[in-house]
Amino acid sequence: MKKPELLVTPTCVNDIEPLASAGADAFMIGEQRYGLRLAGEFSKEDVRESIRLAHKYNKKVYVAMNALFHNDKIAELDDYIAFLKDTDADSVVFGDPAVLMAAREVAPEMKLHWNTETTATNWYTCNYWGRKGAKRAVLARELSMDAIVEMKENAEVEIEVQVHGMTCMFQSKRSLLGNYFEYQGKVMEIENRKEQRNMFLHDEERHNKYPIFEDSNGTHIMSPNDMCIIDELGEMMEAGVDSFKIDGVLKSFDYILKATKLYRMAIDLCAADEDRYEEQKDDLLEEAKSLQPDNRPLDTGFFFKETVY
């Protein structure tokens, strides 16, 4: 059985080597000026050093340029893509066609991954962007397992699926969404409003806390649970899904490292011996649960339609 790539999101340059040793095959990095909801901020110097370190271990580095670009940033795209070409980045992750057009001009050989976060919901659309130049489609998080398998069967491009971590429920380009809810003073309240990376919408009625992630791209409200498919990898691996992603946004390095080791073990076990994987997958899930804080239970997202937020 083909092993999918294990893609992880480091928080800083110092994460690269230990995550490579833990079994990561590829890294998603970038800076928030160009990329959405990154686990860490990587300057140009950081990007260059991360690529050097990753390539030393024969790992790949994908750089995020999947933000929503307005006119004021269009002039920057050529220079940034040229920089990524010079540093030997393995791919550029894009959602806006402006990035595709810029890449065609300054780095026509650059591998491109299409990622709009939400609109990759059918294989026709994946193939459309493939014919425009993308080599990979990053599927929407709201798809069922059956839909993912069907898309892989019909896709002309590589397929990437998130298998672990939180998901984005809502994004606004504005950074003051929290103030709106404070003003309303109804069901939800803002906790830790002044701490950029420790803010929550608290829904007392459902006993849920929704993390608020703010960056230069605006306000992002995240899921109250973390997705985890460590015990359900077999069907996607049989279908040949190309990449499994662990999203480490708002996670510590220690958490990302332990999750990487667990998924490396699960992928290798399933590829080598499906029967043994079936016997041990419940233990893998229990170990994944042990990593979770009390306020963030695990679920299977939309893979089996149990998520309702």
Structural domain boundaries enclosing 197: 171-221
**In a shared domain, residues 212 and 236:** no
Give pLDDT, residue 309. Answer: 46
Residue 175 lies in a domain: yes
**In a shared domain, residues 74 and 146:** yes
pLDDT in tens, the chain (309 residues): 889 999 999 999 999 999 999 999 999 999 999 998 899 999 999 999 999 999 999 999 999 999 889 999 999 999 999 999 999 999 999 999 999 999 999 999 999 999 988 889 999 999 999 999 999 999 998 899 999 999 999 999 999 999 999 887 676 666 555 555 555 554 444 444 444 456 666 666 666 776 777 777 777 677 778 899 999 999 999 999 999 999 998 899 999 999 999 999 999 999 999 999 999 999 999 999 999 988 788 989 888 875 444
**In a shared domain, residues 108 and 236:** yes
Give pLDDT, residue 188. Answer: 46
Using alpha carbons, select from 258, 242, 224, 253 the residue that is nearest to residue 137: 242
- In this structure, what are the phi and psi dihedrals at residue 272, rounded to the nearest 5 degrees? -85, -35
Give pLDDT, residue 204. Answer: 62
- In this structure, what are the phi and psi dihedrals at residue 25, rounded to the nearest 5 degrees? -95, -25
**In a shared domain, residues 51 and 125:** yes
Residue 304 lies in a domain: no
Residue 305 lies in a domain: no
Cα atoms in the Cβ-side hemisphere of radius 13 Å centred on 57: 20
**In a shared domain, residues 129 and 260:** yes
What global pTM score does this model have?
0.88
Residue 137 lies in a domain: yes
Q: How many CB atoms lie within 10 A of CB 23?
A: 17
Residue 307 lies in a domain: no
**In a shared domain, residues 235 and 159:** yes
**In a shared domain, residues 183 and 85:** no
Cβ proximity of 6 and 26 under 8 Å: yes
Query: Of 184, 200, 221, which closes a domain?
Result: 221
**In a shared domain, residues 104 and 245:** yes
Residue 308 lies in a domain: no
**In a shared domain, residues 230 and 249:** yes
The number of folded domains in the chain is 2
Cβ proximity of 80 and 34 under 8 Å: yes
